[in-house]
Amino acid sequence: MATVGTITVENEIGRIPATMKAAVYRGINDVRLEEVAVPEIGPGEMLVRVHTCGICGTDLKKISTGSHSAPRIFGHETSGVVAKVGAGVRKYAVADRVMVFHHIPCRECYYCRHRTFAQCATYKKVGCTAGFEPSGGGFSEYVRVMDWIVEKGTVRIPDDVSFEQASFVEPANTCIKGIETLRLEPGETVLVMGQGPIGMILAMLAKRAGASVVTSDLYPERLTMSRSFGLSQTIDASNSDVGKTVREMTEGRGADAVILAVGGSGLIRPAMDAARPGGRILLFAQTTRGEVTIDPAAVCVDEKTLLGSYSASVDLQEESVRFVMNREMDLERLISHRFRLEQSVEALELAAHPRRDSMKIAIQPGSAWDSGTRVMA
């Protein structure tokens, strides 16, 4: 059947309802499962039925700090199926399997000309929503994808790639950007502090760049997974001095580069101490503003360089798609827990308070229409 301004097709996805379930942020540490209206779309836009949406640390930060006004629907590591297309959409059709970025820069402003895309005003304007102020929207059944994201930030998923694997394209992009920021040289020793899902991707990408990679974490279970990916040099931070151990491994110098893939500021000083004189330290997970004490002589006298990397780069979009879709890393293995949308509050709680057995937490609104997906009982 057809409607004015949009094209709608009934197929195996089913008729689009008027309302849907969503995990709605209502205030600090207050997320509720609610019934909300399915978003309307306009010309050039698409409606995507969400299959899988990974929970990102930035989602958790926004929920726990109240940095964003309420109500909102978060979630941006989104993959699913096109359910409706607006007038003028030619690149995609109903039933296409896609993943969507939620940020795409203008590529014309001062920041874009200097390739600092995350600071672009257009980039900061979120292009995916499930209602309320646009905030990603992946923690819902349907998400509206706005026209500039349809045109420049949507990726078709190959038939032999799962929704779960595809949901890692955006986080993989952020990690590739971080590795590019470090400008690694083959043979350098890189210490990756933290072996959560992002830390593990960063470690694999550093290895891919030719570095000798050392990983550390407080949870031995995560180091066991690191080794299963071929990251054989590991340090159990629960019973070892990471900086001392790295210096012992590098003739007393320290690592050429250190990647801090753990949130908070308490490990910035240890990360700097683990780097050799003249080394680089990449802050990757420090997204909460505040003050921190560092040793200024480590920067001046020891000539250590502090670097930062945040969010994705449009210049790396094709590379991140190839990395994920070609399965250079089996990213599905990083998902330890899968929750139905009805369990989203529980999912967010687990992601905010990780356990020894938890890695990537995924919310899967589409599990009801894909019997092949494993979800929490």
155: domain CATH number?
3.90.180.10
Structure token digits, residue 259: 């990647």
* In the predicted structure, residue 4 carries a pLDDT above the cut 90: no
* In the predicted structure, residue 371 carries a pLDDT above the cut 80: no
Let me know whether 22 and 156 are in one domain. Answer: yes
Please say which residue of 308, 338, 361 terminates a domain. 308
Instruction: Identify which of 224, 219, 228 has the alpha carbon closest to the alpha carbon of residue 355.
Output: 219
The tens digit of pLDDT for each residue in 102-153 reads 999 999 999 999 999 999 999 999 999 999 999 999 999 999 999 999 999 9
Q: Is residue 320 included in any domain, yes or no? A: no
* In the predicted structure, residue 19 carries a pLDDT above the cut 90: yes
The residue-averaged pLDDT of 199-217 equals 98
Number of domains in the chain: 2
Let me know whether 186 and 222 are in one domain. Answer: yes
Cβ-based burial of 187 (10 A; exposed 0-12, middle 13-18, buried ≥19):
exposed
The tens digit of pLDDT for each residue in 50-105 reads 999 999 999 999 999 999 999 999 999 999 999 999 999 999 999 999 999 999 99
* In the predicted structure, residue 317 carries a pLDDT above the cut 70: yes
Cα–Cα distance for residue pair 26/50, rounded to 1 Å: 21
Q: Is residue 258 included in any domain, yes or no? A: yes
The tens digit of pLDDT for each residue in 260-278 reads 999 989 999 999 999 999 9
Let me know whether 214 and 262 are in one domain. Answer: yes
Cα–Cα distance for residue pair 373/164, rounded to 1 Å: 9
Let me know whether 124 and 43 are in one domain. Answer: yes
Let me know whether 40 and 155 are in one domain. Answer: yes
Write down the mean pLDDT value for the chain.
Answer: 93
Q: What is the pLDDT of residue 237?
A: 97
Question: Which of 150-164, 222-236, 355-369 shows the lowest mean pLDDT across its residues?
Answer: 355-369
Q: Are strands 6-8 and 77-86 parallel, antiparallel or unpaired?
A: antiparallel
Instruction: Identify which of 135, 129, 45 has the alpha carbon closest to the alpha carbon of residue 92.
Output: 45
Q: Which residues neighbour 335 within 8 Å (Cβ) at sequence distance 6 or greater?
A: 54, 164, 359, 360, 361, 362
Instruction: Identify which of 199, 203, 205, 198 has the alpha carbon closest to the alpha carbon of residue 214.
Output: 203
Let me know whether 118 and 224 are in one domain. Answer: no
For the beta carbon of residue 160, count every other beta carbon within 10 angstroms: 8
Percentage of the chain lying above the pLDDT 70 cut: 93
Cα–Cα distance for residue pair 121/342, rounded to 1 Å: 34
Let me know whether 58 and 87 are in one domain. Answer: yes
Q: What is the pLDDT of residue 6?
A: 42
| pTM summary value | 0.93
The residue-averaged pLDDT of 330-351 equals 98
The residue-averaged pLDDT of 326-344 equals 98
Let me know whether 254 and 134 are in one domain. Answer: no
Q: Which residues neighbour 289 within 8 Å (Cβ) at sequence distance 6 or greater?
A: none
Q: Is residue 83 included in any domain, yes or no? A: yes
Q: What is the pLDDT of residue 348?
A: 98
Cis peptide before 270 (omega within 30 of 0): no
Structure token digits, residue 17: 């309802």
Domain that includes residue 201, residue range: 175-308
Q: What is the pLDDT of residue 1?
A: 36
Q: Are strands 142-145 and 97-100 parallel, antiparallel or unpaired?
A: unpaired
The DSSP letter of residue 74 is -
Let me know whether 12 and 124 are in one domain. Answer: yes
Cα–Cα distance for residue pair 258/273, rounded to 1 Å: 10
- Which residue type occupies 334? L
Instruction: Identify which of 85, 108, 107 has the alpha carbon closest to the alpha carbon of residue 98.
Output: 85
* In the predicted structure, residue 370 carries a pLDDT above the cut 70: no
- Which residue type occupies 178? G
For the beta carbon of residue 108, count every other beta carbon within 10 angstroms: 10
Q: What is the pLDDT of residue 350?
A: 98
In DSSP notation, 282-293 reads EE-S--S-----
* In the predicted structure, residue 5 carries a pLDDT above the cut 70: no
The residue-averaged pLDDT of 195-199 equals 98
Let me know whether 84 and 49 are in one domain. Answer: yes
Q: Are strands 154-156 and 97-100 parallel, antiparallel or unpaired?
A: antiparallel
The residue-averaged pLDDT of 230-258 equals 98
Q: Is residue 374 included in any domain, yes or no? A: no
Q: Are strands 189-193 and 212-217 parallel, antiparallel or unpaired?
A: parallel
219: domain CATH number?
3.40.50.720
Let me know whether 248 and 203 are in one domain. Answer: yes
Let me know whether 182 and 302 are in one domain. Answer: yes
